[in-house]
Chains A and B, each alone.
Chain A
């Protein structure tokens, strides 16, 4: 069964540092998403990406966040200057047709 692959599985970074979270979506999928889940809280939408541009973003997705699809396969989430409150699980998801979401196994980001 096709998978969405995320790397790294766990990243520890110092406050103020930049981090890049990587995702390899399923190859024929067209829509890509990032979600995050702070420990003990619900999964929250960050951003959706279609046709090489952001289609929608949440209030969480401020100027410190950016997404790219640099080489047609990888899909990255960059946080420019991390804050303690950015500590969370970050999930990438890709979608082929309506409702067909496949989530990656996530990156646990810990900001210290």
Chain B
């Protein structure tokens, strides 16, 4: 089983639509969870952290279900500028006490005018 698994897409949705991404992770010891955004040939940029209580940042809502090892991202009223690849990322403390980010393959989103 992949450490972090995402539907690669592509998702092509009309401007103004709501789109949802899902992600599962395999290691129950994972400590913290994020959604990153990556534009073509650019670095990953943090979109938002994900908490069990659910959290919202403007049009973006993220949710974590630790029991199911499942993370979600909802984008409402999508804009053309939301077109990007969305990376599900998990932070794990290793047996050596070091932390590192583990990335999913990403879900590609294209917003259509």
> From residue A105, how far is it (CB to closest CB) to chain B in Å?
5
A91 in contact with B44 (CB, 8 Å): yes
Residues A56 and B32 in contact in the complex (CB < 8 Å), given A89-B41, A91-B43, A99-B91: no
CB-CB under 8 A from B17, the residues of chain A are none
* Total number of A residues with any Cβ neighbor in B under 8 Å: 22
Instruction: Tally inter-chain residue pairs, CB-CB below 8 A.
Output: 50
Check B103 against A99 for contact (C-beta < 8 Å): no
Instruction: Report A31 CB to chain B, min CB distance, Å.
Output: 8
Chain A residues near B46: list those with CB within 8 A: 101
Q: What is the bound-complex CA distance between A55 and B91, given in angstroms?
A: 16
User: What is the bound-complex CA distance between A41 and B87, given in angstroms?
Assistant: 12
Check: B25 CB closer than 8 A to any chain A CB.
Answer: no
Chain A residues with Cβ below 8 Å from B104 are 42
A33 at the interface (CB under 8 A from B): yes
Q: Which of A48, A93, A98, A99 has the most CB of B within 10 A?
A: A99
Query: Could you tell me if B105 and A42 are in contact, using CB atoms closer than 8 angstroms?
Result: yes
- Tell whether, in the assembled complex, residue B42 and residue A105 are in contact, meaning their CB atoms are under 8 Å apart: yes
Which residues A77-112 have CB closer than 8 A to chain B? 89, 91, 93, 98-99, 101, 103-106, 108
Residue of A nearest to B31 (CB): A98
By a beta-carbon cutoff of 8 Å, the part of chain B in contact with chain A is 32, 34, 41-46, 49, 87, 91, 94, 96, 98-106
